[in-house]
Structure formats: structure tokens, C-alpha cells
Amino acid sequence: QGTFFPKPWSPCLDVEHNNGPDGCALFFLQNRFKLVNSANIRLTAMTLKTNQVAIAQTLECKESSRQFCIAVTHLKARTGWERFRSAQGCDLLQNLQNITQGAKIPLIVCGDFNAEPTEEVYKHFASSSLNLNSAYKLLSADGQSEPPYTTWKIRTSGECRHTLDYIWYSKHALSVRSALDLLTEEQIGPNRLPSFNYPSDHLSLVCDFSFNEEPDGL
């Protein structure tokens, strides 16, 4: 089952013969999960409604009857918008606080944050009272560092290699069982992303989670 929440104003609609707006989408397997509730969130920044959105859904595992919340988002892009992204992140965290009843419901947040780990929005998520950890840190040698890149492309201004995408999870309630390795420089190739083999300019982040007291997984 899938949910799509388009941006209020999508630049995709300015393209002739376009396929519709961009936005956020969230899908789940109906044979394994039941939808408890769903929220489409238009993010605000400093009380202003913005053009970025999020989806948050509370799901129930049919086998165990355990519930968790999963959210997806895509924050404002580009250099110079760091404070704006920070405000959007704070708004999303507040919404998720309410939806998870103050972290009583385990949470997973997936998103293109358009922010390096040095940005304020990253720090807000890392220090949130929702008790979140970044899943892909586990692939690093020390278990504390983000990957060196999640996007690698060639622009007119030159080559761009950044870490912008994250999967956050409730570390008090969930454990990462496995995570998909990111592509190496050799696998990406000299023309970088996107390519015929990898049609997105961002790499896929994929994790398997389990409830801490139920090691068989979600």
C-alpha cells in the first residue's frame, strides 16, 4: 500500500509533458503490516509554511501486534538554506513527538535532509528527546561516523560528493540487524550518478530492523 504527498508547488510541473509533481512517498507490505494512522505534514520554518513535506504513518505488525511509526521527508536543498532546514527539522521533530506520544511508539525516519552531519538540523535529530540514532553509522570503523557520501554527481560547477541522506531510528526500542553497503567509487564509475546502472543521483539506504526484545525482525 502506498501514500504519495506532493509538494504544494512542484517545479516538475513547469516541464512540458511532465509526469506530475514530486513530493514524498511511503509504501508498506499489506500482508505484514496494518495501517493504524497516517499524517501528511507540510513543514513550517519560523512559522512560515514551506514547500517541503513529510509523511508519518503508524503501522502495526500483524504477527506480533507491535506498533511503530515510520516517517519520510525531503528537506530544502542548496547552500545558504541551512537555517531554513534547521527550522524544518525542528518542526518535523515536534510533529513526530506528538505522533509517537513522546517516543512511546518506536520511530524510524528516512529522508534526504540535504544536510551534511555538521549542520544544525543533523544535530537536532542526534540530540532529540526522541532518542534517535543514525543507522548508517554502524557501517563505519568506529561505529560513530556517517558514510563519506550518499550522493556523488557532476555539476556544471564541478564534482559534488556529499552525505545528505539518513535513516534515524529509536535506539531504545529498535536495533539495526543489517544495512546495505554503499557503492564504492569503482562501482559508481567515472561519470558518477545518475547512470544506466544506478538511475538516481543519491544512493539507496536500506536497513533491516528488529524490536530490541524480538530479534526476528519487523
In this prediction, residue 213 carries a pLDDT of 80
For residues 99-128, average pLDDT: 98
Residue percentage of the chain with pLDDT more than 70: 98
In this prediction, residue 216 carries a pLDDT of 59
Say if residues 109 and 167 touch (Cβ distance below 8 Å): yes
In this prediction, residue 162 carries a pLDDT of 98
Inter-CA distances, 151 with 45, 79, 169, 198, Å: 25, 15, 21, 11
- What grid cell was written down for 87? 527550522
Q: Per residue in 52-109, pLDDT tens?
A: 999 999 999 999 999 999 999 999 999 999 999 999 999 999 999 999 999 999 999 9
Q: Per residue in 146-156, pLDDT tens?
A: 999 999 999 98
Which residue type is seen at 43? Answer: L
Residue percentage of the chain with pLDDT more than 90: 93
Instruction: Tell whether the model's pLDDT for residue 217 goes beyond 80.
Output: no
Q: Which domains occur in the chain, in start order?
A: 2-174 (3.60.10.10)
Residues 6+ apart with CB under 8 A from 83: 120
Considering the entire predicted model, what is its pTM? Answer: 0.95
* Residue 184, phi then psi, degrees to nearest 5: -80, 170
In this prediction, residue 139 carries a pLDDT of 86
